[in-house]
A and B are shown apart, each in its own frame.
Chain A
Amino acid sequence: MNVLEQLARTPRAAIEFSNILLTTKDAPIGQTPKDVVWSHRTTTLYRYRSSQRTHPVPVLLVFALINRPDIFDLTPGRSFVEFLLGEGFDVFLLDWGVPGDEDSDMGVDSYVCDALPWGIRETLRASGEEEVSLLGWCIGGTFCAMYGALEPEGPARNMVLLTTTVDTSVSNYLPWVGRDSFDVEAVTDAYPSVPGRLIDRMNKTMKPLNNFFVTYRQLFAGTLDGTAKREAYQPMAKWVANNPPFAGRVYREWITWMYKENRLVKGTLRLRDRRVDLRRIEQNLCVVTAGSDHITKRPETLPILDLVASEDVTHLDRPGGHIGLMAGSKAKDGIWPDIADWLRERSER
């Protein structure tokens, strides 16, 4: 394409580019049919419809508090949920919902000691089974690990932890939120539920040029040469832009306990007067790390492998980023079958 052609195409590309950005919010995501099984406050337990459940032990998906769990079920063909259903699993999703200011009293214990066990309980009731596989991603994985440490003989048989923060001593976030001068109380005093936008901006600032400029520059270049894929860009962009607030108390506890004091890996974390000791985890454990993850770097997750008491421990390390690992174009032929294989071997009665 010569310069004149490029100039001639620019107005059209600009219109196409702005149209892609402006209609991103209309992109359909999370379309796999599901039913509400249980709800409490902002938390909802869903069960995905399936006519081919062949493995008795159900899989309960637990996502982070940042962004929405739609990433498990982005679009048809790019849906981990759809994949698991196709593999014969009974799939449940624990959706933390969108907390408001009135939910600012929800702390880490509310999620780990109430919502998660209650969600598991309802999963067991709905499926008629006695055991469950937990699949936690990011903070959801940390919550699952905490739960596993508190309830080593509980109904969780298998745990899959995806890009999960355990040891923050090497985290990229440490210089920001781990320092004494970062006053987490000031944030939660100003915002009883910390706006998701604020957290999203902070996350994006970790790779500022890429997140605030290069993504859009590449999209524009794609529209200019006709290679931009609207159906690939929009669902992911919509998911990235959907940032629910972080309930104030859990934000304060997460930053203080995990980043300022690094309590989980030190074994000093206590929830409702019970010590969360990772050495008590006995479940079959699969830990997944991503090579290019800058949000939860590999060394932040790996200490769990040496701490747990589980006899069955698997570590899967794959190329990709924090989200791209599971939602990227290579996930379907890469990490998804690996996780399904691991679960399949451990999901029979």
Chain B
Amino acid sequence: MADNERRTPIDQVKALYEDAETRTAEAVETLVRREGFGELLARVTENAMAMTQLAQGALDMTVRSLRVAGSQDIVRLGRQLNRTEDKLEMVLQEVERLQDELAAQRADVAALGGLFERSERSDGSSSQGLGKGSPSSSARRTGSASRQGGSSARGGSRQGSAGRGGSGSGSAGRRAANGGSSASGSSKSS
């Protein structure tokens, strides 16, 4: 009561207006959520879209009849570029996967070389034996490396199965497992 007495007529008008505004906003929100409004909106949208399509078609025909590339031609070119980019992405993913596989194999070979040198130093005869056996053991290691790679990239493969590029995604897991150099990522970004 005391508050009301202290309020000026302008404040009271303001308060009345704001109250009316809030009520109107609520009423309008209720109105737009009604089925009838939805039906009206659907019809208006359909009409507007039909008119837009007619207008765009006519405009595009006019432009093309002047022997100038119309929007349809530009869109077609853009789509071709997109398809090329999709294919390039697939190739890039495959290259990355092969890079990772190569790096894993090189690491295996290096590890094997170190083992070979150590055994050679400790025992000449046994080193000879190891030397003979090295290609097959290298092959075995490579095989196991691929398997390891495959398993470490399980997450990636799963990703890949969704992304059509199981092989490509596999590289993510493998790269991460290998310590994750971001070199190729940055080269791509450049």
Contact = CB atoms under 8 A, between A and B. Distances in A.
Interface of A: 2-3, 35-41, 100-105, 112-114, 117-118, 120-122, 124-131, 147, 150-151, 153-155, 172, 175-176, 179, 181-183, 186-187, 189-192, 205-210, 214, 217, 271-272, 274
A35 B45 contact: no
Contacts of A101: 71, 74-75, 78
A349 to B, nearest CB: 12
A183 B180 contact: no
Interface stretch (B112-120, B127-135, B140-148, B151-159): B151-159
A214 B21 contact: yes
A170 to B, nearest CB: 12
B85 interface: yes
A186 B37 contact: no
B89 A118 contact: yes
Contacts of A127: 180, 182
A151 B158 contact: yes
Contact of A117 (B39, B49, B159): B159
Contact of A183 (B10, B46, B165): B46
23 contacts: A113-B163, A113-B164, A117-B162, A121-B159, A122-B185, A124-B175, A124-B180, A125-B182, A126-B180, A128-B180, A130-B173, A154-B158, A155-B155, A155-B156, A181-B43, A183-B46, A186-B45, A186-B49, A191-B52, A208-B29, A209-B28, A209-B29, A271-B162
Contact of B159 (A36, A151, A207): A151
Interface of B: 10, 21, 24-25, 28-29, 32-35, 37-39, 41-43, 45-46, 49-50, 52-53, 56, 71, 74-79, 81-82, 85-86, 89, 93, 96, 154-156, 158-160, 162-165, 168-169, 171-173, 175-177, 179-182, 184-186, 188-189
A193 B89 CA distance: 23
B42 A183 contact: yes
Closest 5 CB pairs of A and B: A128-B180, A102-B78, A175-B38, A121-B172, A190-B49
Contacts, number: 177
Contact of A103 (B39, B82, B158): B82
A40 B164 CA distance: 15
A215 B159 CA distance: 44
Given A38-B185, A191-B49, A272-B162, 12 more contacts: A40-B89, A101-B75, A102-B75, A113-B162, A117-B160, A117-B169, A121-B156, A121-B171, A125-B182, A128-B176, A151-B158, A183-B45
Given A38-B189, A182-B45, A209-B25, A112 B50 contact: no
A138 to B, nearest CB: 20
Among B50, B52, B74, B179: residue with most chain A CB under 10 A: B52
A207 B25 contact: yes
B133 to A, nearest CB: 34
Contact of B32 (A117, A186, A208): A208
A26 B189 CA distance: 28
B160 A214 contact: no
Given A124-B173, A208-B32, A209-B24, A105 B37 contact: no
A118 B164 CA distance: 10
A153 B89 contact: no
B42 A190 contact: no
Contacts of B53: 186, 189-190
Nearest to B71: A101
Nearest to B180: A128
A176 B42 contact: yes
A102 B79 contact: yes
A155 B74 CA distance: 39
Nearest to A188: B49
B164 A114 contact: yes
A125 B180 contact: yes
A175 B37 contact: yes
A153 B154 contact: yes
B25 A214 contact: yes
Nearest to A150: B162
A310 B53 CA distance: 47
A208 B28 CA distance: 7
Most central of A3, A36, A155, A207 by chain B CB within 10 Å? A155
Contacts of B25: 207, 209-210, 214
Contact of B50 (A40, A150, A186): A186
A183 B43 CA distance: 9
Contact of A189 (B28, B49, B74): B49
A126 B175 CA distance: 10
A128 B179 contact: yes
Contacts of B45: 182-183, 186-187
Contacts of B76: 102
A130 B155 contact: yes
A209 B26 CA distance: 9
B176 A125 contact: yes
